[in-house]
C-alpha cells in the first residue's frame, strides 16, 4: 500500500468509526461525518450532472454542433424554473404536461405487459398436475388467491373465506420472513465489509 | 427482577456490542463456510460461460458506495468471468454514483486480465432518467451516449464498430440496489425482449423472484450469499466468500437473541406492557 493509499484509507477508517459512534449515541464526530457525506455527495452529483448532461446534451449540440432542435427540450427544461414565481408558475405546466403525456403513452402498455400479462401467464400457464411443476402451480395459485382474499373486505371473513384469508396471512408472513432474513443478511454485509476494511487497514498500517 | 425480565429490557446497545464483537472473531481466526450454489445463480454463470470469445455482454452497474458491500463482489466475479472468457463488455450506469464503481472495477480487472479500454471493454457513462436512457439505448447506444465516459466518440472505438443496440449484445446483466431493476424489466426486457439477469441486494431479493419464474429474468444473484456462490463458480474467491464466515457468526448471534427474547417473552407471561416490541 502506497503512502497516498495509506493516508486515504486512514481518512476512510476514521470516518467509518465516526459513523459507528452513533450506535452509542449522537455525537459531534457522527454529525461531522454525516454532513461531510451529504456535502460531498451533493457537490459530486451537481458537477456530474453538469458535465455529463448539460455540457453533453445542451451546450455541445447547440453551441458547437449547430443542432438547434435541442433548443426545444432545453426550453422546456428552462420553463420548469418558473415554478419559483407565483405569477409565472403556470408556464411550467406545459413542460409537465409534455413529460407526463409522453411518459404515460410509452409506459402504460409495457407496464401492463411486464407487471400484469406476463405475471398472469406465469401464474396460470403451467397446468396443475401431479408433477413438481404442476404442484408448484397449484401452490402459487392457491397462495395468490388466499393472499388476495386477506385484503378482500366486501364480505365477512368467516367459513371458507375465513379459512382462505387465514391461509393468506400465513403466506404473506412467509414472504415477510424471507424478506426480513435477506434484509438482515444485507445489513450484516454492510457491517462486515467495514470490519474487513478496518482489518486490512490495520494490517497494512502495522505490517507495512 | 428475574434474568429473563432483565433480558426483555436490555439496552439495545448491548446487542450492537455483541454483534460487533462477534464479527471480530473471524478477523482473528477465519474459517471456510461451504457454499451451495443455487440454480438462479448458476443460470447466469452458465449463460456467460457459454458465450464465445468476442461476443458482447452488457453490464449495468447501478449502485453506489452504500451497497458496495453486497454488490461489488458479484460485479467483480461477473467481470472476472467475462474478461477471462475474452468477452467484450459494455458498461453503463444509471446511478449517479455508479461511475466511481465502474472505474474502480474496470481499472483493477482490466490490468489483471490485460484488457484495453475501447478494444475489450467500454464504459458508456452515466445518464439520469433510467426509463428514457434504456429506451434510447434500445434505439442506438449513440443516442444517449454519443461519447463514452472519457469523452471518446463511440464510433472511434474499435470495439463499438458495427455495434448499434441491444440486438448486438447477447444479454444484459443489471447489478442494482434500487428501482432501476424495474426500469430494466419494463423498458428493457418488456420492450426489447433481450435476456436479462439481475444482481441485487438481499433486501430486494424476495421482490424479484416472480420474474424469474415467469421467464422475464434468466437469473438472479441475491445479495452477498449469491455473490459468494458466483465467486465459487467462477473460481475467483473474493470478498463474497470472505464475508460468509462473518455472516455465519453474526447470524448465529442474532438467532440466539431472537430465541432468548422469545423465551423471555413467553416465560414472563407477556405481562409487561410495552415489552417485546409488539402492540397489545
Checking if the pLDDT of B265 tops 90, the result is no
- Do A95 and A62 share a domain, yes or no? no
Chain A residues with at least one Cβ partner in B under 8 Å: 23-24, 41, 44-45, 48-49, 52-53, 56, 103, 106-107, 110-111, 113-115, 118-119, 121-122, 140, 175, 178-179, 182-186, 188-196, 199
Q: What is the mean pLDDT of residues B50-61?
A: 96
Q: Tell me which DSSP letter residue A80 carries.
A: G
- Do A61 and A85 share a domain, yes or no? no
Q: Sorting pLDDT into bands at 50, 70 and 90, what band is B138?
A: very high
Q: Please give the ipTM for the structure prediction.
A: 0.84
Domain end point (choices A15, A34, A66):
A66
- Do A139 and A205 share a domain, yes or no? yes
- Do A151 and A207 share a domain, yes or no? yes
Q: Does B13 touch chain A (CB under 8 A)?
A: yes
Checking if the pLDDT of A103 tops 50, the result is yes
- Do A118 and A136 share a domain, yes or no? no
Checking if the pLDDT of A59 tops 80, the result is yes
Q: How many domains does chain A have?
A: 3
- For residue A56, the model assigns a pLDDT of 82
Domain end point (choices A66, A84, A116):
A66
Domain end point (choices A125, A158, A173):
A125
- Do A154 and A117 share a domain, yes or no? no
In chain A, the percentage of residues whose pLDDT exceeds 70 is 100
Q: Sorting pLDDT into bands at 50, 70 and 90, what band is A36?
A: very high
Checking if the pLDDT of B1 tops 80, the result is no
Checking if the pLDDT of B275 tops 90, the result is no
In A, which residues are within 8 Å of B189 by CB distance? 114
**Residue A159's domain spans which residues?**
128-208
Q: Return the minimum-mean-pLDDT range out of A11-15, A65-69, B9-13.
A: B9-13
Q: Sorting pLDDT into bands at 50, 70 and 90, what band is A201?
A: very high
**DSSP string over A56-79:** IIIIIIIIIS--GGGHHHHHHHHH
Chain B, window 49-108: residues with a beta carbon less than 8 angstroms from a chain A beta carbon: 66, 68-70, 96-97, 99
Checking if the pLDDT of B31 tops 90, the result is no
- For residue B272, the model assigns a pLDDT of 54
Q: Is A138 helix (H, G, I), strand (E, B) or coil?
A: helix
Greater confidence, B75 or B129?
A: B75
Checking if the pLDDT of B29 tops 60, the result is yes
In A, which residues are within 8 Å of B13 by CB distance? 23-24
CB B103 within 8 A of CB B123: yes
Measured CA to CA, the distance from residue A178 to residue B59 in angstroms comes to 28
From A99, which residue of chain B is nearest by alpha-carbon distance? Answer: B132
- Do A32 and A5 share a domain, yes or no? yes
Q: What is the mean pLDDT of residues A5-23?
A: 93
Give the contacts of A143 (CB within 8 A, at least 6 positions apart). Answer: A168, A171
- For residue A63, the model assigns a pLDDT of 92
CB B91 within 8 A of CB B123: yes
Q: Tell me which DSSP letter residue A128 carries.
A: P
Checking if the pLDDT of B279 tops 80, the result is no
In A, which residues are within 8 Å of B250 by CB distance? 188, 191-192
The C-alpha cell of A150 is what? 386477506
Q: Sorting pLDDT into bands at 50, 70 and 90, what band is B278?
A: very low
Chain B, window 148-207: residues with a beta carbon less than 8 angstroms from a chain A beta carbon: 185-187, 189-191, 201-203, 205-207
Least Cα separation, residue A187 to chain B (angstroms): 9
Measured CA to CA, the distance from residue A201 to residue A192 in angstroms comes to 14
Checking if the pLDDT of A51 tops 50, the result is yes
Chain B, window 203-262: residues with a beta carbon less than 8 angstroms from a chain A beta carbon: 203, 205-207, 210, 213-216, 222-225, 239, 242-243, 246-247, 250-251, 254
Measured CA to CA, the distance from residue B54 to residue B78 in angstroms comes to 16
Q: What is the mean pLDDT of residues B30-48?
A: 93
Checking if the pLDDT of B2 tops 90, the result is no
Measured CA to CA, the distance from residue A99 to residue A93 in angstroms comes to 10
Of the candidates A23, A118, A186, the beta carbon closest to that of B214 is on A118
User: B190 vs A44: CB contact, 8 Å cut-off?
Assistant: no
- Do A150 and A190 share a domain, yes or no? yes
Give the contacts of A119 (CB within 8 A, at least 6 positions apart). Answer: B210, B214
- Do A119 and A133 share a domain, yes or no? no
In chain A, the percentage of residues whose pLDDT exceeds 90 is 58
- Do A152 and A199 share a domain, yes or no? yes
Checking if the pLDDT of B270 tops 70, the result is no
- For residue B128, the model assigns a pLDDT of 87
Q: What is the mean pLDDT of residues B121-141?
A: 94
Q: What is the 3-state secondary structure (H, E, C) of chain B?
A: CCHHHHHHCCCHHHHHHHHHHHHHHHHHCCCCCCCCCCHHHHHHHHHHHHCCCCCEEEEEEECCHHHHHHHHHHHHHHHHHHHHCCCEEEEEECCCCHHHHHHHHHHHHHHHHCCCECCCEEEEEECCCHHHHHHHHHHCCCCCCCECCCCCEHHHCHHHCCCCCHHHCCCEEEEECCCHHHHHHHHHHHHHCCCEEEEECHHHHCCCHHHHHCCCCCEEEEHHHHHHHHHHHHCCCCHHHHHHHHHHHHHHHHHHHHHHHHHHHHHCCCCCCCCCCCCC
- Do A155 and A106 share a domain, yes or no? no
pLDDT tens figures, A149-193: 899 888 888 888 899 999 999 999 998 998 888 889 999 999 999
- Bridge partners for B172 per DSSP: B58, B196
- Do A194 and A205 share a domain, yes or no? yes
Task: For chain B, list the domains and their CATH numbers.
Answer: 3-30+244-267 (no CATH), 39-237 (3.40.50)
Amino acid at each position: 500500500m502506497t503512502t497516498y493509499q495509506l493516508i486515504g484509507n486512514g481518512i476512510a477508517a476514521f470516518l467509518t468509526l465516526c459513523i459507528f459512534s452513533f450506535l452509542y449515541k449522537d455525537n459531534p464526530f457522527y454529525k461531522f461525518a454525516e454532513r461531510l457525506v451529504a456535502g460531498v455527495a451533493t457537490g459530486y452529483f451537481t458537477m456530474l450532472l453538469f458535465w455529463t448532461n448539460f455540457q453533453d446534451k445542451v451546450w455541445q449540440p447547440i453551441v458547437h454542433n449547430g443542432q438547434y432542435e435541442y433548443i426545444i427540450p432545453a426550453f422546456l427544461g428552462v420553463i420548469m424554473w418558473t415554478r419559483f414565481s407565483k405569477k409565472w408558475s403556470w408556464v411550467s405546466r406545459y413542460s409537465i404536461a409534455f413529460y407526463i403525456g409522453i411518459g404515460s403513452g410509452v409506459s402504460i402498455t409495457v407496464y401492463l405487459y411486464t407487471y400484469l400479462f406476463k405475471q398472469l401467464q406465469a401464474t396460470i400457464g403451467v397446468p396443475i398436475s401431479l408433477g413438481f411443476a404442476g404442484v408448484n402451480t397449484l401452490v402459487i395459485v392457491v397462495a395468490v388467491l388466499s393472499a388476495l382474499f386477506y385484503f378482500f373486505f366486501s364480505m365477512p371473513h368467516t367459513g371458507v373465506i375465513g379459512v382462505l384469508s387465514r391461509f393468506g396471512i400465513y403466506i404473506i408472513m412467509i414472504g415477510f420472513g424471507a424478506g426480513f432474513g435477506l434484509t438482515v443478511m444485507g445489513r450484516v454485509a454492510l457491517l462486515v465489509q467495514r470490519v474487513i476494511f478496518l482489518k486490512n487497514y490495520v494490517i497494512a498500517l502495522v505490517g507495512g | 427482577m428475574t434474568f429473563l425480565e432483565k433480558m426483555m429490557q436490555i439496552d439495545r446497545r448491548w446487542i450492537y456490542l455483541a454483534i460487533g464483537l462477534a464479527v471480530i472473531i473471524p478477523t482473528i481466526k477465519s474459517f471456510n463456510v461451504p457454499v451451495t450454489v443455487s440454480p438462479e445463480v448458476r443460470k447466469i454463470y452458465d449463460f456467460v460461460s457459454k458465450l464465445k470469445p468476442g461476443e458482447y455482454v452488457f453490464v449495468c452497474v447501478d449502485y453506489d458506495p452504500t451497497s458496495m458491500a453486497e454488490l461489488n463482489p458479484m460485479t467483480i466475479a461477473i467481470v472476472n468471468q467475462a474478461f477471462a472468457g475474452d468477452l467484450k463488455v459494455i458498461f453503463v450506469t444509471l446511478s449517479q454514483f455508479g461511475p466511481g464503481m465502474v472505474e474502480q472495477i474496470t481499472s483493477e480487472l482490466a490490468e489483471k486480465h490485460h484488457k484495453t479500454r475501447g478494444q475489450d471493454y467500454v464504459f458508456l457513462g452515466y445518464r439520469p432518467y433510467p426509463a428514457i436512457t434504456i429506451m434510447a439505448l434500445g434505439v442506438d447506444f449513440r443516442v444517449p451516449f454519443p461519447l463514452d465516459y472519457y469523452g471518446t466518440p463511440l464510433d472511434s472505438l474499435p470495439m463499438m464498430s458495427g455495434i448499434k443496440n441491444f440486438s448486438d449484445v447477447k444479454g444484459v446483466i443489471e447489478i442494482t440496489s434500487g428501482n432501476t431493476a424495474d426500469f430494466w424489466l419494463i423498458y428493457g426486457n418488456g420492450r426489447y425482449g433481450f435476456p436479462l439477469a439481475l444482481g441485487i441486494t438481499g433486501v430486494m431479493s424476495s421482490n424479484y423472484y416472480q420474474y424469474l419464474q415467469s421467464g422475464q429474468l434468466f437469473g438472479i444473484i441475491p445479495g452477498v450469499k449469491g455473490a459468494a456462490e458466483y465467486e465459487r463458480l467462477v473460481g475467483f474467491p473474493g470478498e463474497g466468500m470472505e464475508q460468509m464466515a462473518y455472516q455465519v457468526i453474526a447470524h448465529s448471534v442474532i438467532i440466539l437473541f431472537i430465541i432468548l427474547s422469545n423465551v423471555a417473552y413467553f416465560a414472563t407471561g407477556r405481562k409487561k406492557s410495552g415489552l417485546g416490541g409488539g402492540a397489545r
